[in-house]
Amino acid sequence: MSQQENVDELVATQTEGYKVGEKKDINELKELDANDESLNKWKASLGLTGTAKERFPDDKRTVIVQALVLQSEGREVVMDVSSPEAIQRLQDKPLVIKEGVDYTFKIRFVVQREMVTGLKFLQQIKRMGLTVEKMEVMCGSYGPKYEDQEREFPTNKAPSGMMARGSYTIRSKFVDDDNNAHLEWAWPMEIKKEWE
């Protein structure tokens, strides 16, 4: 299968009839309906009431994904995805998951300069070239914030049994309502009898 076919399979679903609103900068959003109490609460929940210092002023990206974190049975495995070099290192050592365990992922990221709406996490798991699972999780809208922001995903159960053990290829993508891909990467995973 070509690289292009893999990318095309990892596309966010679109809600029929939904149109992305007009893009507004932070100052416009702050001034929007300034006397509306419920809207002011919403703006405060997104951190739009103050001025957030940029954590990475030399990085022109709006959303900077820091890590994808696996949590299971009291374990936490942090996969650094903060740079192309870090993503390349993931290729050298597959993530090992014990068969049959419940696990969850969470994503850590920084939003700077502008508000980002409709963030979604997409993931496709393949085994021997066939898709065995696809996931799409709506993460929400986020305003600029110096600190890491994170979103935890629903719990999954790792497959078990002799036929399930082995190597998997995972493609992950973090996109927004405007179909901007803030990060897209592939990484290997193995299901084994025990943790390593």
Q: What are the pLDDT digits (tens) for 96-105? A: 999 999 999 9
- Its pTM stands at 0.79
pLDDT recorded at residue 22: 67
Give the residues across from 149 on adjacent strands: 109
Q: DSSP characters for 43-99?
A: HHHTT-SS-PPPS-TT---SEEEEEEEEEETTEEEEEE-SSHHHHHHHHHS-EEEET
Q: What are the pLDDT digits (tens) for 156-185? A: 999 999 999 999 999 999 999 888 999 999
CA distance 23 to 177: 11
Tell me if 165 sits within 8 A of 99, measured CB to CB: yes
CA distance 151 to 137: 10
- Pick the more confident residue, 59 or 29: 59
pLDDT recorded at residue 25: 65
Residues 6+ apart with CB under 8 A from 32: 24, 39, 43
Report the 10 Å Cβ neighbour count for 183.
Answer: 20
pLDDT recorded at residue 10: 74
Burial of 176 (0-12, 13-18, 19+ CB in 10 A): buried
Mean pLDDT of the chain: 86
Report the 10 Å Cβ neighbour count for 191.
Answer: 20
Indicate the Cα dihedral angle 134, 138, 144, 145, nearest 10°.
-80
Decide the pairing of beta strands 149-152 and 130-142.
Answer: unpaired
- Pick the more confident residue, 33 or 193: 193
* pLDDT(48) > 90: no
